[in-house]
Chains A and B, each alone.
Chain A
């Protein structure tokens, strides 16, 4: 009797355990394969609700910020708001959801490619650089090559103005005639977008950066970190645009803002990590130079090939440092070569310089004198 009871009890426990096992197994697999049918506007269903929950887990793909459809209030109805969120989702993961079929813009239709991406995010097996649930406002995504733009378009335009002025000055000096500078031939569009300032120029992934400028829109500003990374549709809060530095390879990136006003000028941002060596300048010699003289700069954190000095006389790029602690460069500022040929004026102009490379930016100016 006792044996019977024990056996009966054991079988009962075994059955319960089996039921629990199958329920858990089924639940896990059902959750992992939530999306199996194509979804489009007008449909109802649990899968639509699951889709909305997933879209709402990322601030950049919210179905709705408030009320029906917002996080916790998913409806299960695929309406216009869900369609818009799906479009954002598809554009965020365009490499996997749009590019394979030759599309660059989201469609709002959840077909096989989008389903695959949704399912991979549900199971967490996609090997994403940034899990969607960890994304924060202003987060960046990597752009496929076909969606990358020329982020230096405005820099090039401004560079041409500069080159034109230098050319006129040099011709004037060579001919000993007035260069006759006339600014009226250069035009700037009224609604152009420009970056004035950023709150910090270097920092690791996760650093919050505020960008201030002219021509920012209340919504619809895209921020690029280099041509590969873009944070889409950033709103301006009145003080500027706020972004969070993404988890990308440490190094130097040029940051621009784009909107319907065009592409802004670029500013430098250096993404640092634990291997980054701080950049500093300990000495510049000699302390006073003429046009074309060689300067030796010593310090630490110098790049092998990509040091850039920015000064009140212009920028000096691609200066090499074989040992990482010293470098030499000839000081030949634009427009001053012609003056040098005419003769010495006997004047001394102070020069202030900062060093930028993939390790960062010097935090204070170094100085030397320029004898002209």
Chain B
């Protein structure tokens, strides 16, 4: 009976370990590649209170995997990897983002700085269409 219990415990432990290992690997993979998004840019502002290193891009529609919405993503002020480089008004962006970069974009002039709401941070492996 005890031997059976020990075997059962070992099997459960191995299964949990495998599950944890796979989960960690998947999380790492998602974090490395980001989540996919696509959308038509309608407005942009530089995040002036955050060192100018980021920009605030509003998309309508914005596709984040479900139904289309209107929303914003922050992006680095550096050129994007693929064609047409910078995000431009009326161009379509397609790529990846990391969710949860809420306070990365502050707009205004110190001391008057406000958070511009966004869904996350666009990763450089994003491309844009011509307009």
Contacts and interface: CB of A to CB of B under 8 A. Distances in A.
Interface of A: 158-159, 161-162, 165-166, 169, 172-173, 176, 178-179, 181-183, 186-190, 192, 194-198, 201, 214, 265, 267-268, 310-315, 334-336, 339, 342-345, 347-350, 352, 354, 361, 365, 372
Contact of A345 (B52, B69, B77, B92): B52
Contacts of A339: 48, 107-109
A367 B44 CA distance: 17
Interface of B: 38, 40, 42-46, 48-49, 51-52, 55, 58, 60-61, 63, 67-72, 77, 79, 84-92, 94, 107-110, 112, 114-117, 129-131
A131 to B, nearest CB: 33
A349 B46 contact: yes
- Give the dominant DSSP class at A's interface: mixed
A315 B109 CA distance: 24
13 contacts: A161-B43, A162-B42, A162-B58, A169-B45, A172-B114, A183-B72, A187-B70, A188-B69, A265-B40, A344-B109, A345-B109, A349-B55, A354-B131
Contacts, number: 136
Nearest to B69: A188
Nearest to B51: A347
Q: Top 7 A-B pairs ranked by shortest CB distance?
A: A347-B52, A186-B70, A197-B129, A342-B109, A312-B86, A188-B68, A196-B92
- Best-surrounded residue of B77, B94, B115 (most CB of chain A within 10 A): B77
Given A165-B58, A183-B69, A345-B109, A315 B90 contact: yes
A371 B116 CA distance: 20
Contact of A192 (B42, B61, B87): B61
Nearest to B66: A190
A133 B20 CA distance: 67
A161 B60 contact: yes
